[in-house]
Amino acid sequence: MRKIWIILLLSMGLLSACDDFLDVTSDNVVVEDELFADYKGVRMAVNGVYRELSGSGLYGYNLMWGFASALGHNYQTSSTSYLPTGLYYGAQFNWENSSVEEISETMWKKAFNVISTCNNIIQQVEAKDTSFFEVGKTERDMILGEMYGVRALLHFEMFRFYCPAPITGLSGKMPYVEMYPDYQPKHREASEVMSLIIRDMEKAKTMLAEVDTVFCRSWCSSMTSRIRQSNSWSSAPPNEFMSYRGCRMNFWGATALLARMYMYNGDEDMAYENARIIYSFHTRNWFRWTSASYQGSISSVEYIHTKRPEEILLCFSNNNNYDQWEARIGTSNYMFRMKNIDHLFAGDEDDYRKVGWYNRYGFQRYLTWIRPVGSSYNATNLATNQGPLLPVISFPEMYHIMIEYLIDKNRIPEAVTLFNTLRRNRGAKAALPETIYPEDLKEKLVYDIIRETLTSGQTFFMFKRLNRNIYNGSSNITMEPKNWTMPLPQSETDYQF
């Protein structure tokens, strides 16, 4: 009896343009052997992974501007007038609240469903010769590199929620799923899980290196062909599956994520090494700072590049981003208001991350996820090109990693030089002196990381990595060990003995 694979992608409309393919079977069930019998079916499965990643259960909400950002106290948290119920209780670290448990179940199930699909694709592709693929070995390596990278990324996201930070030395367990199917995955020690995450992302980096820096080089070096825009063009042969590499797991995304992972794991040397690779491409203008004219030194909000696509190393995409945001705000003028902005930017009131992004349409919100109000060409262009983007990682984070490394190595002048470059490109006019004390420089770095990660879902994990009380204006939130780590969802613990 042939195994069958229920294609959940159908409900998302992924296959709406492939009616001839759907004629193979009926009742929205595709025979797995038939799906993977052609390279087009493999591509379809890969595209489905990215659709799932971009949904509200993962990067379309929970892992980006929703739950993860609420945990980092990017938003006002004094009542449910400012946050949806699950996010409000999450910001109180009330893991037993039913709404928080519902979010936890959703994230966990979505993440491991996608991981399962990645594992299936990996096993199918590894069993095929390079001649099976239209672009041969390059396409095979690209698909495998992407799926290993996504598998590592999602395990890492779950690790940061459900296991103690490595800096604490505390033990924890969770599964690392490498097989399809695996109905009862073994729970492993946190240290082993982190090692497997890094192993897989290193594999992704290696497999994608030649794909992106050699085969795809001519279009990867340009933002408008790396990330889909209305004026995009691509010379990618033979079709779009090889194009727009910034919107798929790619060499630079894998390398930057390795820097993030190594830093989280306490290996600053390897974090710095990977960050330096991205920095070298940045200095060769592959990835550029967003111009001041598209950040904050302008009067019209319709010119601001809300997602800073010039700086993105890896993003996903969801055309319903504005709808998702507006549905959760409803008619409230208070929901998702920012927190402690004046205190956070004290001394740097000219910082674009404040003057460009904060309160531009009123109600003290952040501009990144808000639909442009105007009807000009610029507003329409912004909504079309940047509205769908879900930035997972951008190159300014590599500056932060390198600066932290240099501070900890007592290479203060180098750290200050990098930091001033970053600050200058974010509109902060006051230069930091090389005579600054290391502890003061580290404090300014923490503040800058908060500024850079507002509504992107990363603030909480910076505090967790450092085992540091969460910024809350003049009086920080005192964190206990139980506050940092969510309990595994009930669906995962029910079968554990």
Q: From start to end of 33-125, where are the E strands?
A: none
* Cα 445 from Cα 433, distance rounded (Å): 14
Give every CB contact of residue 425 below 8 A, 6+ residues apart in sequence: 289, 290
Average of per-residue pLDDT values in the chain: 92
Could you tell me which residues are beta bridge partners of residue 312?
394
HSE (side-chain half, CA atoms, 13 Å) at 265: 23
Is residue 396 over pLDDT 60?
yes
> What token pair was written down for 163?
């296991």
Residue 299's pLDDT band, with cuts at 50, 70 and 90, is confident
> What token pair was written down for 219?
């279009």
Could you tell me which residues are beta bridge partners of residue 173?
189
**If you write DSSP's letter for every residue of 223-258 in order, what string do you get?**
HHHHTT-TT-----SSSGGGS-GGGS--HHHHHHHH
Percent of the chain topping pLDDT 70: 92
* Cα 355 from Cα 44, distance rounded (Å): 42
| Of residues 90, 75, 52, the one with CA closest to residue 329 | 75
> What token pair was written down for 462?
């910076």
What is the 3-state composition of the chain as percent helix, strand, coil, each rounded to the nearest 5? 55, 5, 40
Q: 251-264 and 190-210 helices cross at what angle (nearest 10)?
A: 160
* Cα 345 from Cα 353, distance rounded (Å): 9
Residue 149 φ/ψ, nearest 5 degrees? -65, -45
pLDDT tens digits for range 317-356: 999 999 999 999 999 999 999 999 999 999 999 999 999 9
pTM of this prediction exceeds 0.85 = yes
Q: Which helix (H) or strand (E) holds 315?
A: strand 312-317
pLDDT tens digits for range 367-378: 999 999 988 989
* Cα 405 from Cα 269, distance rounded (Å): 8
pLDDT tens digits for range 475-497: 999 999 999 999 999 999 886 65
Mean pLDDT within 299-315: 95
Give every CB contact of residue 284 below 8 A, 6+ residues apart in sequence: none
Mean pLDDT within 415-439: 98
* Cα 416 from Cα 61, distance rounded (Å): 35
**Whether residue 181 has a cis bond before it, omega within 30° of 0:** yes
Query: Using the 8-state DSSP alphabet, how is residue 211 labeled?
Result: I
Q: Provide the pairing of β-strand 173-175 with 4-6.
A: unpaired
Whether 272 and 284 have beta carbons less than 8 Å apart is answered as: no
**If you write DSSP's letter for every residue of 383-445 in order, what string do you get?**
HHHTTTEEEEEETHHHHHHHHHHHHHTT-HHHHHHHHHHHHHTTT--SPPPTT--HHHHHHHH
Q: Provide the pairing of β-strand 312-317 with 389-394.
A: antiparallel
> How many other CB atoms are found less than 10 A from the CB of residue 405?
21
Q: 136-162 and 39-53 helices cross at what angle (nearest 10)?
A: 30
As to burial, measured by CB atoms within 10 angstroms (0-12 exposed, 13-18 middle, 19+ buried), residue 19 is exposed
> Can you give the pLDDT at residue 236?
60
**If you write DSSP's letter for every residue of 329-386 in order, what string do you get?**
HTT-SSTT-B-SHHHHTTT-TT-HHHHTTBSTTSTT-BGGGSPP---SHHHHHHHHHT
- CATH 1.25.40.390 maps onto the chain at 36-299+392-479
pLDDT tens digits for range 31-66: 788 899 999 999 999 999 999 999 999 999 999 999
* Cα 494 from Cα 497, distance rounded (Å): 8
Q: Which helix (H) or strand (E) holds 189?
A: strand 187-189
Q: Which helix (H) or strand (E) holds 325?
A: helix 321-329
Residue 7's pLDDT band, with cuts at 50, 70 and 90, is very low
Amino acid at position 107, single letter:
M
User: Pick the residue with more confidence: 24 or 457?
Assistant: 457
Residue 487 φ/ψ, nearest 5 degrees? -70, 145
* Cα 126 from Cα 141, distance rounded (Å): 10
> What token pair was written down for 260?
């993030």
Give every CB contact of residue 188 below 8 A, 6+ residues apart in sequence: 173, 174, 175, 176, 196
> Can you give the pLDDT at residue 6?
40
Question: CATH number of 36-299+392-479: 1.25.40.390, 3.20.20.70, 3.40.190.10, 3.40.50.300?
Answer: 1.25.40.390
